[in-house]
Structure 1
Amino acid sequence: MTGRWSASQVRELLRMYLVVGSQNCRSHPLEVVEEALAGGATLVQFREKGPGALRGAPLKELARELQAACRRAGVPFIVNDDVELALSIDADGVHVGQDDEDAGRVRVRIGEGRILGVSAHSVEDARRAAAGGADYLGIGPIYPTGSKDDARAVQGPSILRELRASGIELPLVGIGGITASRVEEVIHAGADGIAVISAITQAEASGEAARQLSRLVSHSLAGRLTS
């Protein structure tokens, strides 16, 4: 793709967003990703951070394996923070946090054709990210989570309502502690989809977990349109 992704395209991609790394999977990451894709995952982010994270050749090898699975399924594959890795494997995009490289600089480095996601924790963060060329915002943690050792303070669904009320129109994905019972609340607060880690990577059946979450997102989005 040579031009920017449209907002409507990105919203579709955010519906069932899997964040995965080798250190947070119950089984081999490739198996988890393949099952999640079969269950309806619409976007996969490779986030290899924290204790025991891969480096060097093993990191790139796993990234390529997961990317190949995504390509077979026709689902975009993006890389968390590591712009060099993303460019070296021709990933579909990059996601950066507030403590990572500036969104505007990342946009220049990756070009217009790749997806740029940015974590935002306030209206000010969101506006800066939008000005820097973000295609979507990752909002959270919405609920308490143990999946990320660098997670910030819990925001609650109210942050999604605040962003929408302030005029933020970029696609939003909620992340952090989102389980099946919380999907409807997150979507009705203003998110276009959910990003999950342990709800799929630690599930006994990753494919079925993804399938259930995907159904709940679709149902919640339909309910929001008619409410």
Structure 2
Amino acid sequence: MTSLPQKIYPVVDTALWVDRLGSAGARFIQLRIKDLPEDELLAEIRAAHAFAKKHGVCLVLNDYWQIAVAEGIDYLHLGQEDLDTADLEAIRKAGIRLGVSTHSHEELTRALACKPDYVALGPVWPTRLKKMPFGPQGTERLTEWKSLIGDLPLVAIGGITLERLRPCLDAGADSVAAVSDFTQHADPEGQVKAWLAEAGEAAP
């Protein structure tokens, strides 16, 4: 089973963030965009992909599997509802690696049937960023998930801050994702470096 590119995993909503956080040393970044007109969406994804190549970032596109296939994006991240419509065979044929969100045992079973390259569990802590039908999972659930999936990489997400990074890694997460702890920080580039140091990873 392949390992993930980095233990820190910023999730951002614009191409500019890929440039900024990539220049600071982040090498595994998810672009999650909602509600943009199609032409603007495609332009933003292409810009993010260009910035990712510039900095050696492994770019993950949330949803939009058809664009991921057409543009040759490294990774695709799908929620459970996205699995209803995604063509997994086309995604695999394009050589795109796949991550899938899970929040329950039933969702984990469904995710594993897709043979993903990583599974994400969340929210580990309460999050204000989006309304979640599932309550906080806690780090104990990370340990349980890791015991169930074995060598398959596990991503922790939801309400995670720099102070919560190490507990997630200690509980079994292979990579830890965050949104606001990067994009709403007064010094996002410095925060990337702080996360890398806390994760025990040297800045590239």
TM value normalised by structure 1: 0.80
Tell me the residue number matched to 2:162: 180
One-letter code of the match for 1:16? I
2:29 corresponds to: 44
List per-residue Cα deviations over 1:27-64 (Å, max 9, x = no partner): xx51x222211222121211112xxx312111111111
The CA deviation at 1:167 is 4.8
Q: What is the CA RMSD across the aligned residues, in angstroms? A: 2.0
Counterpart pick for 1:200 among 175, 182, 189: 182
Which runs of no fewer than 5 residues in structure 1 stay unpaired?
1-5, 23-28, 220-227
Letter in 1 for 2:82: D
- For 1:140 and 1:21, the matched residues in 2 are separated by 19
In structure 2, the residue corresponding to 1:188 is in which secondary structure?
A: helix
Cα distance change of structure 1 residues 54 and 167 upon mapping to structure 2, 3 Å threshold: closer
**Structural mapping, 1:115-126, within 5 Å:** 115-126=97-108
Matched residue, 2:10 = 18
**Residue number among 211, 214, 217 corresponding to 2:193 in the alignment:** 211
Alignment match, 1:132: 114
Q: Tell me which amino acid in the other structure corresponds to 1:201.
A: T
Task: Summarize deviations over 1:161-187 as a string: whole Å, max 9, x none.
Answer: 111233543100100111111111111
Q: Which amino acid aligns with 1:40?
A: G
Q: 2:18 aligns with which of 33, 45, 70?
A: 33
Identity within the alignment, %: 34
C-alpha deviation, 1:110, in angstroms: 0.9
8 A contact 2:101–2:120 mirrored in 1: yes
Residue-pair matches, total: 200
**Cα distance between partner residues in 2 of 1:128 and 1:137:** 11
Deviations along 1:57-86, one digit per CA (max 9) or x if unpaired, are 111111111111111111111211111221
Any runs of at least 4 consecutive aligned residues in structure 1 with deviations exceeding 4 A, and if so which? none
- State the distance in 2 between where 1:162 and 1:128 align: 17
Q: TM-score if structure 2 supplies the norm length?
A: 0.89
Does 2:79 match 1:93?
Answer: no
Say whether the 8 Å CA contact 1:137–1:172 is kept in structure 2: yes
Instruction: Determine the C-alpha separation between the residues in 2 that align with 1:161 and 1:177.
Output: 17
2:144 alignment counterpart: 162
Q: What residue number does 1:25 align with? A: none
Tell which deviates more after alignment, 148-157 or 117-126.
148-157
Instruction: Please give the alpha-carbon distance, in whole angstroms, between the structure 2 residues aligned to 1:134 and 1:15.
Output: 18
Amino acid in the other structure paired with 2:2:
A
Tell me by how many angstroms 1:130 deviates: 2.2
Deviations for 1:4-28, whole angstroms, at most 9, x for unmatched residues?
xx423x2xx2411121114xxxxxx
Q: CA deviation at 1:107?
A: 2.8
- Counterpart residue number, 2:89: 108
What per-residue deviation string (whole Å, max 9, x for no partner) do you get for residues 104-144 of structure 1? Answer: x5431212521100011234432332221200011111011
Conserved 8 A contact 2:27-2:57:
yes
Contact 2:99 2:120 in 1 (8 A): yes
Indicate if the aligned counterparts of 1:44 and 1:77 stay in contact, CA closer than 8 A. Answer: yes
CA distance in 1: counterparts of 2:29 and 2:127, whole angstroms: 19
The letter of the residue matching 1:209 is Q
- Distance in 1, matches of 2:49 and 2:37, equals 17
Choose from 7, 10, 14 the match for 2:2. 7
